[in-house]
Structure 1
Amino acid sequence: MKLSKFEPRRAVQAGERKTTSAMIASLAPDGMAARNAPFGHTLVTLARTRPEIVGLSADLAKYTDLHVFAQAHPDRFYQMGMAEQVLMSAAAGLAREGFTPFATTYAVFASRRAYDFICMAIAEENLNVKIVCALPGLTTGYGPSHQATEDLAIFRGMPNLTIIDPCDALDTEQATAAIADHQGPVYMRLLRGRVPVVLDEYGYKFEIGKARQLRAGNDVLFISSGLMTMRALEAAKALEADRIDCAVLHVPTIKPLDVEAIVDAARMPGRLVVVAENHSVIGGLGEAVGALLLREGVTPVFRHIGLPDEFLDAGALPTLHDRYGISTSAVVSRVRNWME
């Protein structure tokens, strides 16, 4: 049976060949709480009372969940075609006229193809453009042409740009509302389609620039963002069987970092600090946190879980996540080894 793009995979049994659509939209297995298109539906709700909100896409509305907005507000949706530079320039023009444009495409296309246009037309002018991009990190099996494994590294050096990496549907909904209120350019990574819900049980509330401790623990501190916060929470539960007590600090804002929360958490003596991110080990959250701790004179035992500094393979996502060390089982195995 062929799976639709938005149909979740069931859990893979031991010894079973892992197959899934390379362009799978959901990371939620059967039985896991999830919401459909949280970004698109939240934007529709916001736009009902915010006439300045408009949506633009570079021929990818269906694959960034902006089609939900386009159906609800067709007179405020602009299809720019496969021209990311034009997409960003048009968004800049709309922002100059008082609109709040949400420009959507794939993360690889925004970061690689349109960087200079974002920098010169949007960031330098500090315009109120929200760039929301699907397929961040290793969330597609289509290979290097679609895997945005270095987008955070590319954008972290751009002045005026706020960078958000939500964990789940709840995080995405709240972050979408927050960046709509925020004045200035934002780059937000997007989990699309059927998005898991994991943060509801932690009383979570998103705030730009703030990290949140989701659970306490005396042995290991996970500092994580994006889907790796889901993996860190799952790993923490699995490691309880080994009597390894794990804390999880979720960092949804990559820039600006919550300096106080990260430094205070890392100062607790005797804990292994593990940064986990769905991004290259070069230039992302791990290096940002490592540099921050050194500047502050905080030197715990430090480990980093991220994607390798190479072009990644194409294939089924469960296989790739195992291969490149960001599956829950891979995280658990590495922490066990480090604790030994």
Structure 2
Amino acid sequence: MVEKDTRRRTIHDVAQAAGVSISTASNALNGTGRTNAETRERVIRVAKEIGFRPNALARGLLSKRSHAIGMLTNDTYGRLTLPMAAGVSEVLVDHGLSVFLCATNNDPRLARLHLEALLDRQVDGIIFTATRLDLEPPAELAKLAIPVVYAFAEGPPETISFFPDDAQGARLAVEHLKGLGRSRILHITGPEDYLSVRIRAEAYCESFGKGAEVHYGDWSEEWGHEAIDAVFSRPGEKPDAIFCGNDEIARGVIDALRDIGITVPKDVAVVGFDNWEVISRQTRPPLTTVDMELKEIGRRAGLAILRLTQGEAVPTGITRLSCRLVVRQSCGGQAG
């Protein structure tokens, strides 16, 4: 029985197999020196054939780059960060950059430890993400000598930040409901101390106009139930549409309406906010909702950090990315 050779291939193996010197093989693989095109192509082909992988540590020492980016987040469950991380990775992977994702669990000490670990790895840059726009980023980030980009978070002045245009997203929801002929639109949303909640509520009030009514509560299905119980137990005209601050609230709203014999969307149309598909697609009926385009936010942050690590200039300031309305059956549309 012939044993399989499983040892790691080296630059020496590449040079020997390609019939060139070690320095020529190195120049061909790194795109340096005066290696002619034919030799370079042969060396690269041979390296692939024998399974040679360059030593990342050695490459980093030569280039003074780690070819890695750190993502620091307080998002323990990854609800917001994982879609953004997918967008970041999509941009960076073709440029040979890896992403290290570190969750702080809102613990300042853990945030410092993660940051120190990323710096010890000599990452080329850091992307900070959060679960709310008004969360204060770690102060240490502003003092770093490497590039820092903020995604779904606002950095200090003269930094680069990307987050969703909450006001535009709220207007999308309200205008869609008005376009369906709904004239008594209620807004049931999350805690008023969240900046995004206040932005969406203000946009809802401006878009809907006279008769606007906002109910603040928790980010939960239970709050959706409670709000419906309160609204439909009082005397007077009832809403024919409800715009909810997130998809969890919306599912609670729909379940509560069903419990009291009100049909969605025939009697009341419902729109959520998030497009958290594990909820929005499984709600009955499937939920029309505003998608914050988290992956695109990550992609834009990834492009910015890539350009910065390559020494290019990137305009500072806040970039608000447009949201997208996903129409499903809770407003009478087709499942999306």
Q: Normalized against structure 2, the TM-score is what? A: 0.33
Whose helix fraction is larger, Structure 1's or Structure 2's?
Answer: 2
Q: Normalized against structure 1, the TM-score is what? A: 0.33
